[in-house]
Structure 1
Amino acid sequence: MRSKKYVPFEKAFHPFQRMLIAEWLWAGRIDEVKRDFAARKVEYTDELAKAIIDKYRKDK
């Protein structure tokens, strides 16, 4: 069995995608974010989600 190697969030997504993901998290669309993270091998954590919202949300 292969071990899971996760990719950093900033490396997996382009800047516009990061803003879009922050908006999705803010809107509560967590399942969609988790699907996108899984497709790009990014580990989802609540701490990461909060950091993304704080850093990339347009209208804080």
Structure 2
Amino acid sequence: MGEPERITARRSELDTLAAELARQLQEVQAGREELVIAERVLNRLAEQGRRPRHPPG
């Protein structure tokens, strides 16, 4: 294989790797967003547990 072919092959490998990394990054970002939401829910539940409960009305 000549030099131009090796360069083209390597570029293709790197393009494939870049696409896979982009997919993984999206998964990580989605996971982090889920954790932020879960953290907010837990914080709200904790706040509600600390507040004195008043009967309605």
The TM-score range, normalised by the shorter chain, is under 0.3
TM-score by length of 2: 0.27
Tell me which structure has the larger Cα radius of gyration: 2
Structure with greater helix percent: 2
